[in-house]
Structures are given as C-alpha cells and as structure tokens.
Amino acid sequence: MRLQDKVALITGAGSGIGYHTAVLFAQEGASVVVVDVNDAAGQKTVDEITQQGGKAIYVHADVSKAADCEKMIQAAEDTYGALHILFNNAGISHANDDDAINTTEDVWDLTMQINVKGVFLGCKYGIPAIRRAGGGSIINTASFVASLGAATPQLAYTASKGAVLSMTRELATIHAREGIRVNALCPGPLRTELLMKYLNTDEKKNRRLVHIPMGRFGEAKEIAYAALYLASDESSFVTGSNFLVDGGITAAYVTPE
C-alpha cells in the first residue's frame, strides 16, 4: 500500500476530486480526515471508506475561516496522532463568474475567500502539524487556467487558481529543506458537477472540448490518481511543481481535427 501508516486530510472531500481521492487514499492505507461544509456528503464519504475497511473521520469546516481550519488540523492530530498529507482541494467555480465588467464584487470576494484564503489557512495550520510529523506532502488544487486563459470568461476563478500556483511555488521553496513538499495539482476540464454547472449549455461545453486534444473531459478519479502520486513517497523529489493533468490542453496551440 502506497500510503500505509500515513494520515491524510482532504478538504472538499464530499464530492468530485476530493471524494475520489479520499476513497483511493484509504484504499492505499491512509487514515483519512474528510473535510467539507456539506455534512451529508462528507459523512457519506466516511461511511463508504469505513464500509470498505478503511479508517476515516468527518470534520465540518469552512476553509475560509481560520478557526475551522485550525479545528480540522487539530482533529487529525487528536484522532490519528499526526498529519502527513494535506490536500487543499476545496474550491468553487461560481456560475456568475464572468469577465471583469460583468463579474460582481461579491462573486470575486467569495471565490478568493474559498479558493485562495482557504489554501493559505490550510497551510498556515497544516504546515506546523506536518513539521511535527517529520515531514510530508501538501497538494494544492489549482487548475490548467493558472497557465492558460479560459476561452469562456471566469476571471475570479482563473485569478484565484493563478494565486494558488504562485503560493505553492513559494511554500515549496521555503519548506523544502524541512522535508515538506508542496505541489500544485492542475486539472484540465473535468466532467464534475462543479464544472458542468458552469458549462451549462452545449455551446459552453463545446468551446472547452474543441481545445482538448484528447477530445473529452477528464474524470475526477483520474485526478485522484495524480494526487496519490504526489502524496506518496514515489514523488519524493517533486516539489514546487505545476502538475498538469489536462488531456493535453496546455500543450496544444491548435487542436487536431
């Protein structure tokens, strides 16, 4: 098992990438702290893990609030004695996110609070815990739009994920010699509820698909396997990376027919 005797905390673990990663990490031997704001979804993830013979607890936490982030890290240490893996995965893509002219200030602020401040707070409280454990891995969910502009405007989301990528690089540099690796996991467009709510017309979907050389949306489970690599000792020389799992979208200047 690739994560035997490790403790992993995953935010946004009630659905999508977080859910699939939580189940996979548990199957690979990790004790998992499932974090979400949707209590029913988070508990369902825990129930699935425990029914498969794995170890997991659920913690309700709003990652934009310092007290909640401190509480979730404390819960990991109190329950399992350590924290080795922190997956700052929780994020939003608001349906009303648009260009600079049409994006409202409240949509901008909410996106930054969750997508950027949430990662900052996770690291603020998580890094000391990982240091106490003797080192480990932090994975921050960014996006391919941290490297490319989106054809369909989503300015707040794009800016937030660029911030996550920059933050990841600096944290990786600061903490590398402490045995703490920090990487940005950058998915391409995925067939998740989060993105499909945003790409809510065939026109919007097709504007994305035409740019993906593989010709399809990715699956959340495919990103979970990438997270598993970054969490495991197999990636022991990987830090500060822009780890793209995007179906080739960032490699393509024009898309083959």
Neighbours of 203 (CB within 10 A): 9
Neighbours of 159 (CB within 10 A): 20
Q: Dihedral (C-alpha) 91, 216, 182, 62: value to the nearest 10 degrees?
A: 10
Inter-axis angle of helices 16-27 and 39-51, to 10 degrees? 20
d(CA 224, CA 247): 15
d(CA 118, CA 184): 14
Q: Is 198 known to be catalytic?
A: no
d(CA 14, CA 45): 6
Catalytic-labelled residue, pool 157, 198, 225, 229: 157
Catalytic positions: 157
